Amino acid sequence: MRPGKPWSMSEAGFTKGKVGTLSNAEIADGLTSLAQLMAAGKENPYKVKAYQRAAARIRTFSKSIEDLVREDADLTTFPGIGDAIAACIREIVTTGSLGKLEKLRAGASPELAGISQYPRLDPKRVLRVYKKLGIASIEDLKKNLVAGEVEKVFGLRMAQHIRQGLTETHAMLLYRADDLRASVEEFLLTNCGVRRAEPGGDYRRRVEVIEEISFVIESDDFQAVVGRLERFGGRTPLVSSDKHDAVFALSAGILLRLREATQGDWGLALVACTGSNAHLKKLSAVTGPLKTLRAAGPWPSEAALYETFGLAFIEPELREGYDEIDRAASGTLPVLVKRADILGELHAHSTSSDGAHSIEQMAGAARELGYEYIGITDHSQSLKIARGVPVEDLWKQIRFIDKLNARLSGIRVLKSAEVDILADGSLDYPDDVLHELDYTVCSIHSRFGLNREQQTERVMRAMDNRHFHILGHATGRLLLKRPGYELDTSRVIEHARQQGCFFEINSSPDRLDLSAENARAAAQAGVRIAISTDAHSTREFGLVRYGLDQARRAGLTKDDVLNCLPWSKLSALLRR
């Protein structure tokens, strides 16, 4: 499906003196390279992050940043762009280079300059690898990676970091793609003469990391649409095209695919454009080859197509090629959990640890959302970097919440904590205080390097404690940044089932942990799953939609989800 080496646009990084229209990607590359070299020096990490975030935003803009600068627009009206970053952007556009970046480059060693061509590599870590292996170039780094040397000396996580940093596909987290989808869709409808546009592909199936976003579109003149789209975001290079299909390299780093359809074959085009390969293969066993179906139309909608072949409508999130075709034929598809089924939040932080809002503010926001309850799960005492709550303060917090509940109406605040699972599998608070909590979320935040056997034992020993309820972010993964620790999930699921413990799907867009695959396995074993946001501020409750995406991809119904239960039923389940 995906071309092997689509384009090499940002591989070369930002180079000085480009002529012609600057694409938003090239401007973003300038900021990213600057951030990377700043990170390699002693620059404040918050400042580095601000540059990285601004670059990521710019990549999703539909308007040409160059045009905005030339029109003298105030760039600081865009979120995340302050005066310093706006000045950098203006300098790139007006002079074709960036003085700060050139200065840092000139002062950088050849090793560092080489690394800075790959913006996702962490220069400090890679330089450590260079030193230990006695190498000095990206070429040698690649060779050592392929030969397994990096993994042997530095372990799996370092090898994965480097592999991801060096890959030429520029994957993107789903939540960033949501902004991008909106801006591409608007551009298609208002600037390109497109009558109708609907997204498909991995994006529509809500896959957590995507490399391509595709649209089915209807217009009078497909070639004219293709021509206009090349102006999206300043300049968007066309990678390939034929009569009804075109692929572009978006500034955001992923591909954009357009597929032309008519009113008469809209449903067929959407079906063909949405399902995974495995799904389409199973589907065509029922319908015959999709290519030949066109003549047998019309297929104005997906529902019409499914109905013709005796299938119930299959939600896009289920079109992965598991058992959905059989279940659509037998009328036994799950009714997927939806936003309105969620009755409360079970993982949220307050100012007691590293959250931005007080317990009362979090409770007020949860009530606004129509929730029945919210669990306050601040970090436990050992997690110093996240201002973990000392045991005396947890006792105070318990008494505070009791008083608060007596005073509040319309929401119940649950007494809880995100309790660290220590290296030996013990929990980070004594039993007497844990006993006073309504439930716990227990998570691993340290010693990621233990091996699979040790890590699995650690989690299972923790589950043996009767004050353990929900395993927080089960594998600790950060998508596109670090893999999770190794865990034998089938053993952990079986142990959770025996002990009456639960899992969560952590809705943070870069965690989404459990994965859909593991969530499916847990639910099939009869282990309920919480869909939690791990909110560190009132704004982050909205992230629940990404947890719901994962849950739906796992085929979960509201009966599989812990926080679809009212408190009266949930509290009974939490007694072990």
The residue ranges that bind Zn ion (CB under 5 A) are: 418, 443, 534
- The smaller minimum CB distance to Zn ion, of residues 534 and 560, is found at 534
- The smaller minimum CB distance to Zn ion, of residues 513 and 534, is found at 534
* Other beta carbons within 10 Å of 176: 19
Least separation in angstroms between residue 534's CB and Zn ion is 4
Q: 127 near 115, Cβ under 8 Å?
A: yes
- The smaller minimum CB distance to Zn ion, of residues 428 and 560, is found at 428
Least separation in angstroms between residue 347's CB and Zn ion is 6
AA letter at 478: L
What are the DSSP calls for 215-261, one per residue?
EEEEES-HHHHHHHHTTTTS---EEEE-SSEEEEE-TTSSEEEEEE-
- The smaller minimum CB distance to Zn ion, of residues 116 and 443, is found at 443
Q: Looking up tokens 């560190």, which residue turns up?
A: 536
Q: What DSSP state is assigned to residue 456? A: H
Least separation in angstroms between residue 160's CB and Zn ion is 21
- The smaller minimum CB distance to Zn ion, of residues 29 and 534, is found at 534
- The smaller minimum CB distance to Zn ion, of residues 40 and 386, is found at 386
Least separation in angstroms between residue 472's CB and Zn ion is 5
Q: 517 near 207, Cβ under 8 Å?
A: no
**Rounded CA gap, 116 and 138, in Å?**
10
Q: Looking up tokens 């909110």, which residue turns up?
A: 535
Least separation in angstroms between residue 354's CB and Zn ion is 9
**Rounded CA gap, 374 and 81, in Å?**
34
AA letter at 460: M
- The smaller minimum CB distance to Zn ion, of residues 185 and 534, is found at 534
Least separation in angstroms between residue 372's CB and Zn ion is 21
- The smaller minimum CB distance to Zn ion, of residues 441 and 548, is found at 441
- What the block records as the tokens of 260 is 């032309």
Q: Which residues contact 350 (CB under 8 A, 6 or more apart)?
A: 357, 358, 359, 361, 362, 376, 378
Facing residues of 530 across strands? 504
Q: Looking up tokens 């227990």, which residue turns up?
A: 442
**Rounded CA gap, 417 and 502, in Å?**
15
- What the block records as the tokens of 532 is 């939690």
Q: Which residues contact 332 (CB under 8 A, 6 or more apart)?
A: none
Least separation in angstroms between residue 533's CB and Zn ion is 9
Least separation in angstroms between residue 449's CB and Zn ion is 18
Least separation in angstroms between residue 417's CB and Zn ion is 10
- The smaller minimum CB distance to Zn ion, of residues 219 and 440, is found at 440
**Rounded CA gap, 392 and 429, in Å?**
11
